[in-house]
Chain A
């Protein structure tokens, strides 16, 4: 497709389980971002990938969170030992090159931890 895609669209899991969220950015986009959107709050920056540079992981809330970007394209966000407070919408965005460019967002993955 032409836009950013994310999967799954919804995920319900039990506390303590691991989950993996996937993001397919727009083809050719070198920059990729992960955000978390909690109810009533602004988007929270999690991690930033730019080309082959080391990612900025400064927004990851704990060591249970990790992310990878393989081949400069697809990215996966992994949450280990999920907690109820991890319940949120996880949004991925990509941009064509530098950080001044418009970020195009995917539809998000709605995660519910029971």
Chain B
């Protein structure tokens, strides 16, 4: 069964600080990996997408990395803001499969 594991489950950081979220997956054959941000009471919104040949992708203060050999990804948040408080979900798609594999998410709380 394809799995996506995220860590930590939750974290609290002070406004202005950086943090890094981790995602390990076993999905194979690999097609792409997305990071989604889900605000409380809202649906997930795509932040980044990376394919096999890409090892880094940025979206503003969010930078995702991918190591397809070790099947690991990270999401780095720089200079965190209160609005970054949300759940961040790692989502992996297998080749030729419309079903996505979702991680359980990392809940980030940014405090002033």
Interface residues of chain A, those whose CB is within 8 Å of chain B, are 4, 31, 35, 40-45, 48, 50, 56, 59, 91, 93, 99-100, 102-103, 105-108
Interface status of B104 (Cβ within 8 A of chain A): yes
Residues of A within 8 A of B99 (CB): 45, 48, 59
CB-nearest residue of chain B to A105: B43
- Jot down 27 A-B pairs with beta carbons below 8 A, ordered by A: A4-B43, A31-B98, A35-B102, A40-B9, A40-B104, A42-B89, A42-B102, A43-B89, A44-B102, A45-B99, A48-B98, A50-B98, A59-B99, A91-B43, A91-B44, A93-B43, A99-B98, A100-B31, A102-B46, A103-B46, A103-B100, A105-B44, A105-B45, A106-B43, A107-B41, A107-B43, A108-B43
Residues of A within 8 Å of B97, CB to CB, are 99
Contact indicator B104/A41 (Cβ below 8 Å): yes
Interface size class of B (residues with CB under 8 A): 20 to 34
Closest chain A CB from B49 CB (angstroms): 7
B42: interface (CB < 8 Å): yes
Verify if B77 is at the interface (C-beta below 8 Å from A).
Answer: no
B42 to chain A, nearest CB (A): 5
Bound form: Cα–Cα A99–B89 in Å: 19
Count of inter-chain pairs, beta carbons less than 8 A: 48
Inter-chain CA distance A42–B32, complex, in Å, is: 17
Q: When chains A and B are docked, how far (Å) is the Cα of A48 from the Cα of B102?
A: 16
Apart from A100-B32, A102-B46, A105-B44: 10 A-B pairs, beta carbons within 8 A: A41-B104, A42-B101, A45-B99, A45-B100, A50-B98, A56-B98, A91-B43, A91-B44, A99-B97, A102-B49
Name the B residues within 8 Å of A35 (CB-CB).
Answer: 102
B104-A42 in contact (CB<8A): yes
In the complex, what's the smallest C-beta–C-beta distance from B23 to chain A, in angstroms?
Answer: 11
- Among B41, B93, B103, which residue has the most Cβ atoms of chain A within 10 A? B41
Q: Which residues of B contact A56 (CB under 8 A)?
A: 98
B43 touches A42 (CB 8 A): no
In Å, the complex CA distance between A91 and B51 comes to 25
Tell me which residues from 65 to 112 in chain B have a Cβ below 8 Å from any Cβ of chain A: 89, 93, 97-105
